[in-house]
Amino acid sequence: MIKTNPIKQFFIIAFFLSLAIAVTIHFPMVINYIFGDESGGGGHRNEDSNLVHLTSDIFITSLVAMMMFTLNFFILRPVDKHGKLSTYRILTAVFLTIVSVYIVNDLLHPLFHGTRDSRPRGRRDEFDYINFFVSGLVIASTFMIRLIFQKQNVMLENVQLKSEALQSQYESLKNQLSPHFLFNSLTALNVLIKENPDQAQEYVNSLSRALRYTLKRNEKKFVTLSEEMDFMKSYLFLIRMRYGENLVIRTDLDEKMFSFFIPPLTIQTLVENAIKHNEISTRKPLTIEINTTSAGSLIIINEVQQKITGEEGTGIGLTNLSKQFLLLIGKEIIIRHEAGRFSVEVPLIREYNESAGN
């Protein structure tokens, strides 16, 4: 992705807007210069249509507009991503713009139009009115630019969050289909076929259901808690074949919440995270609790049993899961690590319109 400098973008936009404002304000003079009647027999155009005069007026107006854009860039901060404008800042922008225009008028009018006495007072008043009108257009334009920049930033962040959510889903699928996972599964299956053919059949069925659920999960943004737990039964059956009685899964789920919705593979991701980062052995069995809360959320808890040789994570686990919830639900997951216990609480959705969601 090509990165752009928002400050540079602002001043490029300001430059062209300044020129457009100047040409628009002096458009009657432009038309008069192009199509105006020649005066007298000398063949010279009217003084107000003189090219030098027209060019200087457009230049002055463009210069004033550009100066006001620069001033309001530092006051209104149009390229801020999320900052909100206070009433104080808006009033400050208006006040300083008016004062600045008055000072600029005093400096520029004698420079380009001679002394005050050399031209009629009405001409100076017209000059003032034009530049004050320009300053109003600049403030309004700066507000519009600010809104456009913030909308673009929101759209860009949404795209990035979606990309990270897809990456998280891909990593979850990759972990399920990794050679390590399949090797362990097939090894356990080979043993079962020899020792317990009936259990081997159940193992194959569980592996098939787990892989089918994993492969089809992209078809839906949300599944019910009941569907997720049905998948977890198959997944946990496979995991227990690896760890036996050293891995204990306890559930305390309110059946009223089985119809609530959750992004697919959420529980699997959290359980896999606990298995990956904690010791599981005869000496230290690992207990993982999957519970619902009275607040309508799901919480996964495990005792912290740090491995002697820890595995290096991919850096996308809980962070991307949190971003995925923020993207899809607008809420963040709650991670706690205290008193030797690690827990992750995720919100459940009471209602979800599948047709609207897709």
In sequence order, which residues have a C-beta less than 8 Å from that of residue 81 and are 6 or more positions away?
A: 149, 150, 153
Tokens representing 254?
Answer: 């309110």
Is residue 356 helix, strand or coil? helix
> Identity (one letter) of the amino acid at 180?
H
The Cα 282–Cα 245 span in angstroms is 8
pLDDT averaged over the chain? Answer: 79
The Cα 333–Cα 321 span in angstroms is 8
Q: What is the helix, strand, coil percentage profile of the chain, to 5?
A: 65, 10, 20
pLDDT band at residue 12, thresholds of 50, 70 and 90?
very high
The Cα 67–Cα 135 span in angstroms is 9
Give the chain's domains with CATH numbers: 6-158 (no CATH), 177-357 (3.30.565.10)
Q: Report the interhelical angle of 121-176 vs 51-76 (nearest 10°).
A: 50
pLDDT band at residue 76, thresholds of 50, 70 and 90?
confident
pLDDT in the model for residue 43: 44
Whole-structure pTM value: 0.50
